[in-house]
Amino acid sequence: NQLTSLDISNNTALTLLSFSNNQIISLDLSNNTFLTDLYCEYNQLTSLDVSNNTVLIRLHCFFNQLECLNIKNGNNINMIIFLADANPNLTCIEVDDADWAQVNWLSFVDPQVSFSEDCGDDCSSSTVIINELSTSKNLIQILDMMGRETTFKPNTPLIYVYDDGSIEKVFSVEY
């Protein structure tokens, strides 16, 4: 898919939302209070605020452009899965308890990230910068389906990451 926007504000009964491998830049989840599972990896999200999602137990938000991540929702201790690595612009994640998050989630974020009960920025006020479209793109990374860097392998599904931020699923068949 190549979705660039998604409005689920009227879908208040959603419990699971998955829109991985798209071009989504922003998302309002404030009305989706029943959401337990959110899979939004491989997008262009610059901010994500799940502070109203108090029953959220699974969050995949890796490989985005996050600058702001607020998961301070009173339910962090019940989180089963939290993956937020490969967000090079993310430096602070707002959480319920920074000490608890440091112990339990440190290996699921990038090295520059710290946890805090107050990162000082409201995710809803983050500025979004949209780059001009480019007609040329250069391959910068090849990933396997688990998100690990790899080299080209025939007859294997791969993910190509380009310098313009686009992502492509590739399956090359060789006889």
pLDDT confidence of 90, banded at 50, 70, 90? very high
The residue ranking higher by pLDDT, 84 or 161, is 84
| 97-121 confidence digits (pLDDT tens) | 999 999 999 989 999 999 999 998 6
Token output for 155: 């007859």
Residue 74: CB atoms within 10 A of its CB come to: 10
Q: What is the pLDDT of residues 137-166, one digit of tens each?
A: 778 888 877 778 888 777 777 778 877 777
Residues 36 and 105: their CA atoms lie apart, in Å, by: 18
pTM, whole model, 2 decimals?
0.70
What's the rounded Cα separation, in Å, for the pair 112 and 101?
15
* pLDDT per position as a tens digit, 42-75: 999 999 999 999 999 999 999 999 999 999 999 9
Residue 32 near residue 11 (C-beta atoms within 8 A):
yes
Q: Residue ranges of the domains in the chain?
A: 16-125, 139-171
**Whether 86 contacts 112, CB under 8 Å:** no
